[in-house]
Structure 1
Amino acid sequence: MKKLVPKLRFFSSSSSSSSLIIPGCSNIPKPIYNPLYNLLPQTQNPNKIVDVICSALNHRDHSILLPSLRDEVQSLIPHLGYPEISRVLLRFQSDASRALAFFKWVKLDLGKRPNIGNYCLLLHILASSKKFPLAMQFLCELIDLTSKEDEDLFSVLVSASDECNWDPVVYDMLVKGYLKLGLVEQGFKVFRKVISSGFSVSVVTCNHLLNGLLKLESMDSCWQVYNVMCRVGIHPNTYTFNILTNVFCNDSNFREVDDFLEKMEEEGFEPDLVTYNTLVCSYCRRGKLKEAFYLYKIMYRRRVVPDLITYTSLIKGLCKDGRVREAHQTFHRMVDRGIKPDCICYNTLIYAYCKEGMMQQSKKLLHEMLGNSIVPDRFTCKIIVEGFVREGRLHAAVNFVVELRKLRVTVPFEVCDFVIGSLCREGKPFAAKHLLERISEEEGHEAKPETYNTLIESLSRCDAIEEALLLKGKLRNQNQVLDVKTYRALIVCLCRKGRNREAECLMSEMLDSEVKPDSFICGALVNGYCKELDFVKAESLLGLFALKFKIFDTESYNSLVKAICDTGSGYNKVLELQERMQRLGFVPNSLSCKYLIQVLEQPSLPNHPPED
């Protein structure tokens, strides 16, 4: 053992020792052995600090040690370094309670941080005294302190065993400690060190390690652990084989699972319900339904009764394969055999029926759930509502939500929000508004700003501007900021109805809220003032959007050119506008030129340029 693990001089008081786990402890002085100190009283003699502390621990109740001992050795505390702490611990290795009391006194009352060597001595003392929970507590504390440092705890623990009584179970606990803290990869490294050094690890710890590696999807490492177990004589149990079955099912060598099961039976372990459920679930997930149902039949032959998990896996596999009616038959077979389905099982079937567009069957299953006192969850309501909407049956989706509420089933607000959004997209904002108000009044739910924004947009598109503005005011009163899409919908609607100045005021409000406009808002306002023949205002808005927001909307510019041309204002006026716009950065396109040509083709106009 000494050849395998180099001894660490963790008892050294050198300030450069690598075993210091807390920065800032390197200034603790080295032990001083000066003969002149022997002339001092014992409680002031640094050479006697270990004797004084041990004597105090021996002659008093260690549970009331803290205040009195500190006063007694006040002058010696600066001389209490790592070597002295270790010497005290070693003197009490046969009295774990006093050793632990001293360790806590140093750490909590004196505020000194023991190093790795001190911790390892305490761990050996606690483990050899069969105080395993306490040992695990301090082991986890040590691992947590050193997890971010490159410290070889195993080597220090082995070196400490040369100085005190020890129990080999402490090395099994070391692996378990890493796993308990979720440090699976470090635990695997320590496991290999422990095994290569000739120590043993319990099958329980191996199972924890296998489970951790499986969650990390380290399949190769799982097989390495299993091979080590076989090589060193750690006998696997049923739990081990169930974990390895999971490894097989998640590994690429899934075809070898039958050989593994035969080996499991050769070892004297019969596959249990967990084993079969793992395999059935994996077969169904991979679309191997024939193999899954074969195992299902084998379970009955071997007197392993399938449970809810087994049937749910089979039902899910059939639904995934599009065999919904067979899945429902399997569901009935499960019920006939006395197994009560849960919400997940019902949801599996309901989802499959919704996917096939069979909404009546989905609703029937939901009513069956309620009849069996199974409360539908968020997913149940969501998939049925989405199914109705996907089938274009929006009215049925609304009625379904109302029906659930009458049945006192809590409908998640996200489902109601989805229905409201769907109604808005279908151009039915008043139905959406009514549903929102009803939910808000009865359940006290306050809709998200996004829901109100969607509703305002839909009302604006339907020219219901007064209702849209009321909702906008409600949001503003709640200090909620409208997004650019909502402002755009309101402004476009106002301009369409000839309320251009209200639209412009709304744009000012939008700018005050630090929401930037876009080209659609520019186009709506320009077109609105063009219809009023207020070309000066339309031109000023084009300039504002170009200079302040860098929005050069050629379509709006062309609308202004066309409006001027349609009034018969003449070529010169259009040409002057074009020059002003070019100075701002507008570039005429083919449509702009077309409008100018149309003006030139009108010789009766007074402003027509003379012919050459």
Structure 2
Amino acid sequence: MAASVPSISRSRMAIAAVRKGTATSPFSLFSDPFPITTINSYYSNTSKVLNPDDALSRTQFLDFVKDRCKSKSENLKLDDALGWFDRMVLMKPLPPVDVFNHLLGAVNKIKHHSAVAALYLRMKATGIAPDIFTLNILLNCYCRLKRVDLGFAILGDIFKQGIEPDAVTYATIIDGLCKSGKVDAALELLKAMEKGTCRPNTLVCNTIIHGLCKKGLVKEAVDLFSEMLEKGYGPDIVTYSTITNGLCKNGNVSAALRLFRKMERGKCRPDTLAYNTIIDGLCREGLLDESLTLFSEMVGNSISPDVVTFNSLIQGFSRMGRWEESTRLFNEMISNGISPDATTINVVMDALCKEGMVEKAHELFDVVSVPSLHASNISGQELGKQLLVEHHAMRRFYDPMIELEKTDLRTLVNSQLMCSECLQ
């Protein structure tokens, strides 16, 4: 990779300014515009091969960038993205804005939000006119950086440029406000939308409902849900799942179950997440027979249960001392090809050991040495915290065990068994 160049240095300075929160507006991040004539060829080896000056290779390179950003963005390296961007701004004519949008969106996905802000300013300095998609990406970055104030500055810039904001624009700002704890401001913005040309849709309402539930304002979320129905904003599976989850966490499982049944009668077909939410809520309230009935319905409706489903049921029955049902569910989980995770083993082992049923714990121990539970899939630290910290006598095993790179679940469970036997 080439050495740093003035343009890259300015990018790094701008990124640092956004991270520190010292930039007061999205347009004061740089003291001078990017002089394109001073940008050297700082780009990846792939771009060197695919992007000489001929038209065919130019097309191939731009297609490569778009494909790379769409299909493998999670593995994207920031230096590669910066290199491709530098090469793109040197092209004559400049590439269309949608290619830059793909690149900025991919950088946003790998959570280099400050870098997106810096690249956006370079786009403007180069003369590339942003569209609503560009500005939505930038808006999302500022909100993720918890700089909703800069997000509003971008919203103002959208209006100044005569660009019509869309539902994604508003949903992004509203999400930023909700995550900043400013739910009242988010509701005010929703009311402003209703008076404008861009009407609220399901995405916007879902965003506010999620923010209300997260803040514990479940009643307000239910009220907004009722308004959605009255105004014709069709709720989707996300709407129902968010509210049922909020109701369950608020201890109102009966209301959550009624809403779940309403969803079944409507156009939304419950998915695994929706069933898991209600099953977990029922188990936490001790309504175990009802949770089993819903579980049977789930399977009968060809909705596949997952490890979360079984964890809720196993934990619920174990908590109430109903070991036979708990063991049956555990065996059913294994027979269905669903590998137990750290939570599953922790729940069962902890309950058995606390009840002094070490022999049964040993029987379970013979089952859990499955390859998929090796530390390569579940970190030793996570397992250590969940499996060992519960018992004071086991804490002396915790630190040395997580240092072993290849500590597997069998080893961790074995130490829990040994400690439980010592405590008896």
Match of 1:323 in 2: 252
Q: TM-score, normalized by length of structure 1?
A: 0.47
Match of 2:37 in 1: 8
- Equivalent of 1:133, from 39, 63, 68? 63
Q: How does 1:123-272 map to 2 (within 5 A)?
A: 132-133=62-63, 144=79, 147=82, 153=86, 157=89, 165-167=92-94, 169=95, 173-174=99-100, 176-181=102-107, 182=110, 183-195=112-124, 199-272=128-201
Q: Which residue identity does 2:149 align to in structure 1?
A: D
Q: TM-score, normalized by length of structure 2?
A: 0.65
Q: Does 1:348 align with 2:274?
A: no
Q: Which runs of 5+ in 1 are unaligned?
A: 11-18, 23-102, 109-113, 455-477, 494-612
- Equivalent of 1:280, from 209, 223, 226? 209
Deviation (angstroms), 1:185 = 1.5
Q: Distance in 1 between matches of 2:195 and 2:373?
A: 63
Residues 325 and 487 of structure 1: CA distance in aligned 2, closer, same or farther (over 3 Å): closer
Q: Distance in 1 between matches of 2:37 and 2:172?
A: 38
Number of residue-to-residue matches in the alignment: 350
Aligned partners of 2:247 and 2:253 also within 8 Å: yes
Q: How does 1:417-566 map to 2 (within 5 A)?
A: 418-436=347-365, 439=367, 486=418
- Cα displacement string for residues 207-266 of structure 1 (whole angstroms, at most 9, x for unaligned residues): 223334444444233223222222222332232223223223223432122432343344
Over alpha carbons, which structure has the higher Rg? 1
Q: Does 1:310 align with 2:239?
A: yes
- Cα displacement string for residues 19-39 of structure 1 (whole angstroms, at most 9, x for unaligned residues): 3649xxxxxxxxxxxxxxxxx
Aligned partners of 1:21 and 1:146 also within 8 Å: no
Q: Distance in 1 between matches of 2:68 and 2:225?
A: 48
Say which SS state the counterpart of residue 292 (structure 2) adopts.
Answer: helix
Aligned partners of 2:307 and 2:340 also within 8 Å: no
Match of 1:515 in 2: none
Q: Distance in 2 between matches of 1:398 and 1:20?
A: 68
Deviation (angstroms), 1:188 = 1.1
Aligned partners of 1:195 and 1:201 also within 8 Å: yes
Q: Which residue identity does 1:400 align to in structure 2?
A: S
Q: Distance in 1 between matches of 2:279 and 2:67?
A: 48
Deviation (angstroms), 1:201 = 0.6
Percent sequence identity over matched residues? 21
Q: Which residue identity does 2:316 align to in structure 1?
A: G
Q: Which runs of 5+ in 2 are unaligned?
A: 1-31, 376-382, 388-409
Aligned partners of 1:375 and 1:409 also within 8 Å: no
Residues 446 and 184 of structure 1: CA distance in aligned 2, closer, same or farther (over 3 Å): closer
Deviation (angstroms), 1:122 = 4.1
Q: Does 1:334 align with 2:263?
A: yes
Q: Distance in 2 between matches of 1:330 and 1:385?
A: 25
Q: Which residue identity does 2:306 align to in structure 1?
A: D
Aligned partners of 1:318 and 1:324 also within 8 Å: yes
- Equivalent of 2:319, from 390, 403, 418? 390
Q: How does 1:586-601 map to 2 (within 5 A)?
A: none
- Cα displacement string for residues 135-187 of structure 1 (whole angstroms, at most 9, x for unaligned residues): 76899999835849xxx959x94xx68xxx534x5577456534433443222
Q: How does 1:8-47 map to 2 (within 5 A)?
A: 8=37, 19=40, 21=42
- Cα displacement string for residues 469-511 of structure 1 (whole angstroms, at most 9, x for unaligned residues): xxxxxxxxx9999869949968x99xxxxxxxxxxxxxxxxxx
CA-based RMSD of the aligned residues comes to 4.9
Q: How does 1:376-415 map to 2 (within 5 A)?
A: 376-391=305-320, 393=321, 396-402=322-328, 405=331, 409-410=336-337, 412-414=339-341, 415=344
Q: Distance in 2 between matches of 1:423 and 1:135?
A: 54
Aligned partners of 1:171 and 1:201 also within 8 Å: yes
Deviation (angstroms), 1:300 = 2.1
Aligned partners of 1:242 and 1:274 also within 8 Å: yes
Q: How does 1:283-302 map to 2 (within 5 A)?
A: 283-302=212-231
Residues 189 and 126 of structure 1: CA distance in aligned 2, closer, same or farther (over 3 Å): farther
Q: Distance in 1 between matches of 2:221 and 2:158?
A: 30
Q: Distance in 1 between matches of 2:239 and 2:363?
A: 45
